[in-house]
Amino acid sequence: MKSTVDEIRDRFDNDVERFSNLETGQSATIDAPLCMELVVDSAAAVTSDARSLLDIGCGAGNYTLKLLERFKDADATLIDLSRPMLDRASQRVSEATIGRVTTMQSDIRDIELGEQQHDVAVAAAVLHHLRSDEEWREVCAKVYAALNPGGSFWIVDLISHTHAPVQAAMWRRYGEYLTELRDEAYRDEVLAYVDKEDSPVSVMTVVDHLRGAGFDGVEILHKNNCFAAFGAVKPAVGIEAR
């Protein structure tokens, strides 16, 4: 059985400090600083006049802080399961913008985002908690509706591989990365909670769900081992979701 929402919330309630390093991001994520840089650069290129940011699973607010370096004094809406994470993110983000900062403690599957309220949305290391294609479809549709025309959605996440031998090879390499990062005990700890907590999908599954929601200009910004970064743009004129 995978972790429940309450179990995931409890773990993150006690892990705020690890998610508060703006320079390294989350170290267990391969290329975390690079992915953050690619997302921010791409969002600034695609949605250069963004005034409203949406951070889904914001953690301690790292992605919003980096986005605010490009989108000066934009409004920010922060969503997370964990109240301690939200409190830290709100404090840090409020110091970086004179825009409105709104926090929402909720699961993205449950929350109402409204329509055409944001210019840039980001979801970093959060959507791997979705458990089914139906949940992916619902979340992508919800984010699509919440974006203004021409808005963009950026995802950085753990991914899986279609063929079992490739998955095994990538998982072995990820274990080696974690061992080099710290030690074998840390490797075993991370792999255990990934197995218990996460439900990653393949790169092409993410792309298909984004396209299915109506996004165009879907991009794979980066892939290394079992992590990838994606971008997608809502058409500037109304096009029904395919």
* H helical segments located in the chain: 5-13, 32-46, 62-68, 83-94, 133-146, 164-181, 184-197, 203-213
pLDDT value for 241:
40
The pair of three-digit structure tokens given for residue 51, joined into one six-digit string: 């005034």
* d(C-alpha 145, C-alpha 116), whole Å: 6
- Asked if residue 157 lies in contact with residue 125, where contact means CB atoms within 8 angstroms, the answer is yes
- Asked if residue 203 lies in contact with residue 220, where contact means CB atoms within 8 angstroms, the answer is yes
- Lowest mean pLDDT, pick from 19-23, 30-34, 84-88, 202-206: 19-23
* d(C-alpha 218, C-alpha 232), whole Å: 4
**Mean pLDDT for the stretch of residues 121-137:** 97
Q: In the CATH scheme, what is the code of domain 5-160+199-233?
A: 3.40.50.150
pLDDT value for 2:
87
Q: Where exactly are the structural domains of the chain?
A: 5-160+199-233
The pLDDT of residue 21 is above 80: no
Q: What is the pLDDT of residues 173-194, one digit of tens each?
A: 999 999 999 999 999 999 998 9
